[in-house]
């Protein structure tokens, strides 16, 4: 049985209904400022039905869904995959200076062996 709907597509976090029914993420104490992209929500609607409020969402690439970012030089962990010596992929927490995975050097590809830690 069909029901009433009013589906709106959002092109990004600047769209009018991008943050409808999405709460702000609480600050967990590790990060400094609201994310400049998602404004503390960590995600936004890519599509929302304004009648039933069913929606599809996108996770913010800048803050990885945390809603908060590091403004100083403290390293921030983010999930990454590395190749073990046995040739199997392994999930790790890698740290970048500003919290964005883009700041890391991925010249050898995403499954490259991580640099040695001292």
For the entire predicted model, the pTM comes to 0.64
The answer to whether residues 16 and 55 belong to one domain is yes
Q: What is the pLDDT of residue 27?
A: 85
Residue 117 included in any domain: no
The answer to whether residues 22 and 78 belong to one domain is no
Q: What is the mean pLDDT of residues 94-108?
A: 54
Does residue 111 register a pLDDT over 80?
no
Q: Which two tokens stand for residue 96?
A: 């970048």
Does residue 117 register a pLDDT over 70?
no
The answer to whether residues 54 and 80 belong to one domain is no
- Which residues form the domain of 93? 74-112
Tally the domains of the chain.
2
**Can you tell me the distance from the alpha carbon of 85 to that of 66, in angstroms, rounded to the nearest whole number?**
32
Q: What is the pLDDT of residue 64?
A: 84
The answer to whether residues 31 and 55 belong to one domain is yes
**Can you tell me the distance from the alpha carbon of 35 to that of 66, in angstroms, rounded to the nearest whole number?**
8
Does residue 77 register a pLDDT over 60?
yes
Residue 35 included in any domain: yes
Does residue 73 register a pLDDT over 70?
yes
Q: What tens digit of pLDDT does each residue of 5-60 get?
A: 899 999 999 999 999 999 998 887 777 889 999 999 999 999 999 999 999 999 99
The answer to whether residues 79 and 63 belong to one domain is no
The answer to whether residues 44 and 85 belong to one domain is no
Length of the chain: 118
What is the residue-wise DSSP string for the chain? ------EEE--STTSTTTTTT-PPPPP-SS--EE-TTTTT-SEEEEEEETTT--EEEEE-TTTTTSSEE--SS--EEEEEEEE-TTS-EEEEEEEETTS-GGGS--TT-TTSPPPPP-
Does residue 91 register a pLDDT over 60?
yes
The answer to whether residues 59 and 13 belong to one domain is yes
Q: How confident is the model at residue 80 (pLDDT cuts 50, 70, 90)?
A: confident
Contact 67, 35 (CB under 8 A): yes
């Amino acid at each position: 049985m069909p029901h009433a709907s009013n589906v709106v597509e959002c092109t990004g976090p600047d769209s009018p209904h991008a943050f409808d029914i999405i709460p702000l993420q609480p600050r967990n104490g590790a990060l400094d400022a609201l994310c400049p992209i998602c404004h503390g929500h960590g995600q936004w609607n890519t599509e929302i039905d304004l009648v039933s409020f069913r929606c599809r969402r996108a996770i913010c690439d800048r803050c990885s869904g945390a809603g908060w970012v590091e403004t100083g030089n403290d390293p921030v962990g983010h999930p990454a995959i590395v190749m073990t010596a046995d040739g199997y992929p392994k999930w790790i927490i890698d740290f970048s200076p500003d919290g964005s995975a883009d700041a890391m050097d991925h010249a050898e590809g995403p499954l490259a062996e991580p640099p040695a830690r001292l």
